[in-house]
């Protein structure tokens, strides 16, 4: 296939010399076209490929899977329903209070949706270049953390509205219920730790009972949920009890075996401090007894 | 002047001594390079970036060589989905480019480019295998120490499916060079970041308390390094043991375990045989310090009496987690604590050299340390992991091993020996295990293995010294552990060891050591409840020690069968093993009344465990579903009925995941819950705890404390001696 431009008869149409026309013609066509005469149209030059981030990653990073976003919002609705049901059962909410709290909770969910939408917009803007991956993942990670944590806890509109909506008597009830729940969890963790240590160290049950009593007297539930560090925090609290109070419970063999484990528990202090479960002095941030 | 001459002489002697052991030191140090997780992750990271660089070098020859057949509408970007790190990416070609140009056809195999890419693909596959090993070790390490950062990193690695992605990358590398570069860089960054995440910020690899009062002679350094290497090797065998469960053999080989366990301890003794008399005082000074040092906290005895068999009981230094330890941390004078761990970890460019205080981390990795010698640790695990593969053939230099054994043993080899000692040969650690066996006087094992191996392999002619012999490592033929007649044997034979033999033996010893720890706990309980006299206590402890061997064999067989052993179809309770073992002895020694105090304590303690587990679960459910008091009571009652179920968690298993709920809850307490609570429970991720994994044979911290730690009790020591007696 010949790519050369056909030479037209320009007679009577222009005064330009034919020589100039030929020069322009040759310059326009170029010799390279002839190389592709047998191979079809010439390809445009390839630009270097850019590596982007696929859209589906956003949902995966925030919600856990591609299709999990709606399920996550549904779960938040269920959490809200259960929370309001608990308040209704323990504090006796009026219909107006219930509706107000339901609205507040949904505002939280809506606010989270808006945060997700904004993050998704940023993600769409940045995802064309893989170099933006750290910025993108930082944002998605923070959203995922919110979703996995205590969504309607401190800082949420729901909690603030609850505090403003309940009357003093209801608030007293609520505080009592929360304290009871915290104590139950703390007692459970202490019982678990004592049972576990009992198997490893070889406590008798009467020793375990005395041990448990001292632990419960000397420690308190943490001020905020310790999440995956609950067990370590309780062991650290046990390890922080003065040895003079614990050692008399056990005989020499038992105490040496126990003390090795308590020393090991103290080594978790950096992790607990990094998680914000210990204050600057190394003591546990605990709730005030009612 | 005389002093100068004396100093020069000393220096000359020291250099000569170093020269003698330099080769061995270098080899062992190279093997130890891959011993920590951080270092290995860093090395994997560098491997990826190296591959990316190699692809980049080749990519100029791969792009733009092919003529497009069709053209896309102008300005239409074309996206091709790729997978990077378990996450999708899209490749955006320029808007004005003929972006939908078909991907360049793979170069023909015979071209140099194709060959290079193929080699890189193989290298990538090896990298994937290496990552899988690292993840296995991380999982085992987390089980022992429960460090949250290890779990976080491990979870992220699993979530990203790094192994599968790298394997896929190896396949795609020949087709998508550009994307492969990006993927390699991505994985390099990720692996590097994960390595950094493993670093403990509180210590940064510092190792206090390791000051030595005087310089150790090189031979001692060598000995310590050999011990360390042996420990690393045992760790490797742990992983192999766990992952090669289906390949386990019959119970006949289980009795060979003691020989396997005694080898490293014998090495320690053998290493001191040539000690000069004038070094006795210095050695005496040093003898205790490595045992108590945070760097090498455990003596060989602790890991010989409790070798590994699974990820959970993997033996490792109790206070030496795989964090980036400065290379000179154990010999650095106190007061100088260069915090090179995390910092150096972030500077892989600094690897390959540096001053003596450079972090060992910086010296790690393929291509970074010019002197490194990577050790082939075999791939039994990978064979099982990825499904059927052709058996791997591992070359062994049996001749050199046996020659070394003969030289070092220097004695007639007439003892009947166990083939379990030879397990390491199949993993390619010929020289080290050979030294171990020889130094420990196990040369007869070498001989027996050699002869039987030669028969089993069906080789007509025995190999000559130095000849390389290929050994099928995955499913070698069954071998006879004892040389017929037990007489003098020929050395220069091939050695093939059936992995199952070694695995079962290791399992048995591991189980015995865990049961021994339980025995320690029981002795303490016995003392606190029944108050036996010292003689009575000693007699009961010895009876427990004898029983442990039998229990260990049964439990080892059950574990070897992957939990489906015919003799033990149900999950055996090791605590009950101990209880049954001690019961008769306690009654015999203490009489009915006194022994009743102890035996009744069992029931009380079991009840306490049940209540603790129930209370823990109720509190978790209450936190998640906000139960009413009535609901809590009903849930607790429902849970108590399930205590005897093998899937019901114990306090020890619950301690492994603080905020998880067990998977059986919807069926068990669904009727107790309100509709919203039921729906909320159904939407949560539920887990299978099971009591087998942690509590059944591991006593939760069975590997965190060595038997030596527990054995400050003389009666327990006597019981352990009973266990160790052949």
Q: Residue B524: list chain A partners with CB under 8 A.
A: 201-202, 251, 253-254, 257
Residue B396 phi, psi (nearest 5)? -125, 145
Taking CB atoms and an 8 Å limit, are B178 and A49 in contact across chains?
yes
pLDDT per residue as tens digits for the range B363-376: 333 333 444 333 33
- A126 at the B interface (CB within 8 A)? no
Answer whether residue B135 shows pLDDT above 50. Answer: yes
Residue B396 β-bridge partners: B469
- How far off is chain A from B604, nearest CA to CA, in Å? 7
Nearest-angstrom CA–CA distance, A199 and A112:
46
**Distance of CA B400 to CAs B222, B397, B654, Å?**
20, 6, 51
Average pLDDT over residues A157-171: 91
Q: Residue A253: list chain B partners with CB under 8 A.
A: 523-524, 527, 712-713
Answer whether residue B384 shows pLDDT above 50. Answer: no
Sign for the CA dihedral angle at B183, B184, B187, B192 comes to: negative
Please tell me which of A65-69, B130-134, B466-470 the model is most confident about, judged by mean pLDDT.
B130-134
Nearest-angstrom CA–CA distance, B90 and B82:
6
Nearest-angstrom CA–CA distance, A134 and B196:
15
pLDDT of residue B603: 84
Residue with tokens 């039921």: B678
B-contacting residues in A 61-100 (Cβ below 8 Å)? 61, 71, 74-75, 78-79, 81-83, 85-86, 89
Residue A45 phi, psi (nearest 5)? -65, 140
Nearest to A130 among B182, B615, B705 (CB): B182
Radius of gyration of chain A (CA): 35
Residue with tokens 């570069």: B181
- In the numeric block, which tokens belong to residue B376? 């082939």
Q: Using 50, 70 and 90 to split pLDDT, how confident is the model at B302?
A: very low
Taking CB atoms and an 8 Å limit, are B618 and A185 in contact across chains?
no
Radius of gyration of chain B (CA): 29
- How far off is chain A from B282, nearest CA to CA, in Å? 30
Residue B661 β-bridge partners: B686
Q: Of A163-172, B434-443, B631-640, give the lowest mean pLDDT range.
A: B434-443
- How far off is chain A from B615, nearest CA to CA, in Å? 5
Average pLDDT over residues B483-507: 36
- B652 at the A interface (CB within 8 A)? yes
Q: Which residues contact B229 (CB under 8 A, 6 or more apart)?
A: B28, B31, B32, B432
Residue B299 phi, psi (nearest 5)? -80, 165
Taking CB atoms and an 8 Å limit, are A185 and B622 in contact across chains?
yes
DSSP string, B123-188: HHHHHHHHHHHHHHHHHHHHHHH--HHHHHHHHHHHHHTHHHHHHHHHHHTTT-HHHHHHHHHHHH
Contact present, B244 and B362 (Cβ < 8 Å): no
Taking CB atoms and an 8 Å limit, are A46 and B97 in contact across chains?
yes
Nearest-angstrom CA–CA distance, B40 and B138:
11
pLDDT greater at residue A173 or residue B88: A173
Q: Where are the alpha helices (DSSP H) in B65-111?
A: none
Chain A and chain B share a number of CB contacts under 8 A equal to 223
Instruction: Please tell me the number of Cα atoms within 13 Å of B354 on its side-chain side.
Output: 22
Answer whether residue A287 shows pLDDT above 90. Answer: no
Question: How close are the terminal C-alpha atoms of chain A, in Å?
Answer: 94
A-contacting residues in B 49-108 (Cβ below 8 Å)? 63-64, 67-69, 71, 79, 81-82, 84, 87-94, 96-98, 101
pLDDT greater at residue B713 or residue B99: B713
pLDDT of residue B254: 57
B-contacting residues in A 164-223 (Cβ below 8 Å)? 181, 184-185, 187-189, 191-196, 198-205, 207-208
DSSP string, A211-261: HHHHHHHH---BSS--GGGHHHHHHHHHHHS-HHHHGGGS-HHHHHHHHHH
Taking CB atoms and an 8 Å limit, are A205 and B604 in contact across chains?
yes
pLDDT of residue A192: 92
DSSP string, A153-206: STTSHHHHHHHHHS-HHHHHHHHHHHHHHHHHHHHHHHHHHHHHHIIIII--HH
Instruction: Return the exposure string of B26-65: e unless at least 16 CB atoms fall within 10 Å of the residue's CB, then b.
Output: ebbbbbbbbbbbbbbbbbbbbbbbbbbebbeebeeebeee
Q: Where are the alpha helices (DSSP H) in A51-167?
A: 56-63, 68-91, 95-126, 133-148, 157-165
pLDDT of residue A87: 92
Burial category of A21 from C-beta neighbours within 10 Å (exposed 0-12, middle 13-18, buried 19 and up): middle
Nearest-angstrom CA–CA distance, A259 and A282:
19
- A17 at the B interface (CB within 8 A)? no
pLDDT greater at residue B290 or residue B256: B256
Instruction: Kindly state the helix (H) or strand (E) to which residue A210 belongs, with its residue range.
Output: helix A205-218
Nearest-angstrom CA–CA distance, B669 and B671:
5
pLDDT greater at residue B201 or residue B406: B201
Nearest to A49 among B92, B659, B704 (CB): B92
Contact present, B492 and B464 (Cβ < 8 Å): yes
pLDDT per residue as tens digits for the range B654-674: 877 777 888 888 888 888 898
Closest chain A residue to B92 measured between Cα atoms? A50
- In the numeric block, which tokens belong to residue A37? 């005469």
pLDDT greater at residue B606 or residue B105: B606
- How far off is chain A from B56, nearest CA to CA, in Å? 13
Q: Residue B97: list chain A partners with CB under 8 A.
A: 44-47
pLDDT of residue A53: 77
Q: Which residues contact B666 (CB under 8 A, 6 or more apart)?
A: B678, B681, B682, B686
Answer whether residue A42 shows pLDDT above 70. Answer: no
DSSP string, B206-248: --TT---SSPPPHHHHHHHHHHHHHHHHHHHHHHHHHHTGGG-
Nearest-angstrom CA–CA distance, B470 and B151:
39
Q: Using 50, 70 and 90 to split pLDDT, how confident is the model at B3?
A: confident
pLDDT per residue as tens digits for the range B637-658: 999 888 877 678 888 778 777 7
- How far off is chain A from B514, nearest CA to CA, in Å? 11
Average pLDDT over residues A241-253: 91
Nearest to A43 among B68, B91, B92 (CB): B68
Taking CB atoms and an 8 Å limit, are A188 and B619 in contact across chains?
yes
- B686 at the A interface (CB within 8 A)? no
- In the numeric block, which tokens belong to residue A284? 């546990």
Nearest to B148 among A52, A78, A228 (CB): A228
- How far off is chain B from A231, nearest CA to CA, in Å? 6
Q: Which residues contact B170 (CB under 8 A, 6 or more apart)?
A: B120, B121, B122, B123, B124, B125, B127, B128
pLDDT greater at residue B373 or residue B161: B161
Closest chain A residue to B652 measured between Cα atoms? A196
Q: Of B211-220, B440-449, B611-620, give the lowest mean pLDDT range.
A: B440-449
pLDDT of residue B270: 39
**Distance of CA B425 to CAs A30, B20, B421, Å?**
71, 25, 9
Average pLDDT over residues B571-592: 72
**Beta-strand relationship, A50-51 and B79-84:** unpaired
pLDDT per residue as tens digits for the range B553-579: 666 666 555 554 444 445 556 666 667
Closest chain A residue to B190 measured between Cα atoms? A134
Q: Residue A194: list chain B partners with CB under 8 A.
A: 608, 612
Taking phi first (over 0 means left), then psi (-120 to 50 degrees means alpha), and beta for anything else, what does residue B19 get? alpha
């Amino acid at each position: 296939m010949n790519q050369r431009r056909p030479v037209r008869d320009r007679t009577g149409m222009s005064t330009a010399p034919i020589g100039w026309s030929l020069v322009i013609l040759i310059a326009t066509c170029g010799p390279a076209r002839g190389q592709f005469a047998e191979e079809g149209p010439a390809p445009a030059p390839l630009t270097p490929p850019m590596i982007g981030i696929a859209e589906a990653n956003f949902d995966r990073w925030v919600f856990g899977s591609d299709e999990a976003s709606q399920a996550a919002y549904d779960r938040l609705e269920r959490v809200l329903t259960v929370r309001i049901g608990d308040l209704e059962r323990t504090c006796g909410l009026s219909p107006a209070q219930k509706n107000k709290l339901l609205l507040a909770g949904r505002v939280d969910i809506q606010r989270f949706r808006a945060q997700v939408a904004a993050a998704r917009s940023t993600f769409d803007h940045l995802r064309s270049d893989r170099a933006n991956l750290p910025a993108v993942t930082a944002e998605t990670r923070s959203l995922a953390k919110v979703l996995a944590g205590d969504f309607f806890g401190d800082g949420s509109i729901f909690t603030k509205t609850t505090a403003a909506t309940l009357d003093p008597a209801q608030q007293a009830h609520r505080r009592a219920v929360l304290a009871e729940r915290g104590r139950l969890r703390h007692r459970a963790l202490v019982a678990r730790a004592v049972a576990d240590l009992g198997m490893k160290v070889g406590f008798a049950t009467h020793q375990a009972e005395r041990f448990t009593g001292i632990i419960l007297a000397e420690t308190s539930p943490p001020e905020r949920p310790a999440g995956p560090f609950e067990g370590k925090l309780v062991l650290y609290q046990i390890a922080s009890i003065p040895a003079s109070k614990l050692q008399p419970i056990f005989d020499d063999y038992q105490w040496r075996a126990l003390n090795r484990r308590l020393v090991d528990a103290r080594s978790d202090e950096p992790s607990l401090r990094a998680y914000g479960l210990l204050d600057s002095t190394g003591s546990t941030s605990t709730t005030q007894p009612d | 002047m005389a002093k100068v001459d004396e100093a020069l002489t000393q220096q000359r002697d020291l250099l000569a001594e170093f020269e003698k052991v330099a080769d061995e030191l270098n080899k062992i140090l190279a093997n130890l390079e891959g011993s920590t997780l951080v270092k290995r992750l860093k090395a994997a990271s560098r491997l990826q970036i190296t591959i990316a660089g190699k692809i980049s070098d080749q990519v100029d020859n791969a792009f733009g060589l092919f003529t497009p057949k069709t053209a896309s509408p102008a300005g239409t970007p074309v996206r091709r989905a790729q997978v990077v790190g378990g996450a999708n990416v899209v490749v955006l070609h320029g808007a004005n480019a003929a972006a939908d140009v078909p991907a360049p056809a793979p170069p023909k195999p015979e071209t140099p480019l194709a060959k290079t890419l193929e080699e890189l693909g193989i290298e990538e596959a090896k990298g994937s295998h290496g990552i899988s090993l690292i993840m296995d070790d991380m999982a085992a390490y987390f089980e022992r120490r429960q460090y949250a950062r290890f779990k976080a990193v491990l979870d992220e690695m699993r979530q990203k499916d790094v192994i599968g992605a790298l394997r896929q990358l190896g396949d795609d590398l020949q087709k998508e060079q550009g994307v492969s570069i990006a993927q390699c860089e991505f994985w390099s960054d990720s692996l590097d970041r994960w390595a950094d995440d493993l670093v403990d910020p509180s210590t940064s690899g510092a190792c206090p308390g390791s000051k030595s009062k005087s310089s150790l002679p090189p031979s001692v350094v060598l000995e310590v390094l050999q011990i360390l290497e042996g420990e690393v090797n045992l760790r490797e065998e742990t992983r192999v043991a766990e992952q090669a469960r289906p390949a386990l053999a019959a119970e006949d080989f289980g009795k060979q375990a003691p020989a396997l366990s005694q080898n490293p301890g014998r090495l320690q003794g053998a290493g001191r045989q040539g000690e000069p008399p004038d070094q006795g005082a210095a050695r005496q000074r040093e003898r205790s310090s490595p045992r108590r040092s945070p760097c090498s906290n455990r003596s060989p005895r602790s890991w010989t009496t409790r070798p590994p068999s699974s990820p959970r009981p993997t033996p490792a230094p109790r206070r030496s987690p795989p964090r980036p330890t400065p290379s000179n941390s154990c010999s650095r004078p106190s007061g100088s604590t260069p915090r090179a761990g995390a910092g150096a970890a972030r500077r892989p460019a600094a690897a390959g050299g540096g001053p003596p205080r450079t972090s060992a981390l910086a010296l790690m990795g393929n291509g970074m340390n010019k002197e490194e010698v990577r050790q082939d640790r075999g791939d039994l695990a990978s064979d099982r992991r990825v499904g059927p593969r052709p058996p791997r053939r591992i070359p062994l230099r049996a001749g050199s091993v046996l020659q070394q054994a003969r030289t070092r043993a220097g004695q007639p080899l007439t003892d009947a020996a166990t083939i379990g000692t030879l397990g390491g040969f199949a993993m390619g650690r010929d020289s080290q295990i050979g030294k171990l066996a020889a130094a420990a006087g196990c040369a007869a094992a070498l001989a027996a293995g050699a002869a039987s191996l030669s028969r089993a392999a069906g080789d007509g002619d025995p190999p000559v010294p130095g000849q390389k012999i290929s050994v099928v490592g995955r499913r070698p033929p069954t071998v006879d552990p004892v040389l017929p007649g037990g007489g003098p044997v020929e050395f220069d034979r091939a050695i093939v060891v059936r992995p199952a033999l070694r695995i079962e033996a290791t399992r048995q010893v591991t189980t015995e050591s865990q049961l021994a720890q339980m025995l320690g706990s029981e002795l303490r309980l016995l003392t606190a409840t029944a108050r036996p006299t010292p003689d009575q206590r000693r007699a009961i402890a010895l009876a427990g020690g004898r029983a442990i061997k039998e229990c260990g064999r049964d439990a080892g067989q059950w574990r070897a069968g992957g939990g489906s052993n015919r003799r033990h179809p149900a999950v055996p309770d090791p605590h009950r093993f101990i209880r049954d073992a001690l019961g008769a002895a306690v009654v015999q020694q203490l009489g009915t009344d006194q022994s009743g105090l102890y035996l009744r304590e069992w029931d009380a303690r079991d009840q306490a465990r049940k209540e603790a587990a129930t209370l823990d679960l109720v509190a978790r459910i209450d936190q998640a579903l906000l139960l009413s008091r009535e609901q809590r009571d009903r849930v607790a009652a429902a849970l108590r009925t399930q205590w005897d179920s093998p899937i019901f968690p114990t306090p020890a298993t619950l301690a492994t995941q603080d905020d998880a709920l067990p998977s059986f809850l919807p069926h068990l307490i669904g009727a107790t819950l309100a509709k919203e609570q039921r729906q909320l429970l159904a939407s949560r991720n539920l887990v299978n705890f099971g009591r087998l994994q942690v509590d059944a044979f591991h006593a939760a911290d069975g590997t965190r404390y060595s038997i030596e730690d527990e054995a400050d009790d003389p009666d327990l020591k006597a019981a352990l001696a009973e266990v160790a007696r052949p």
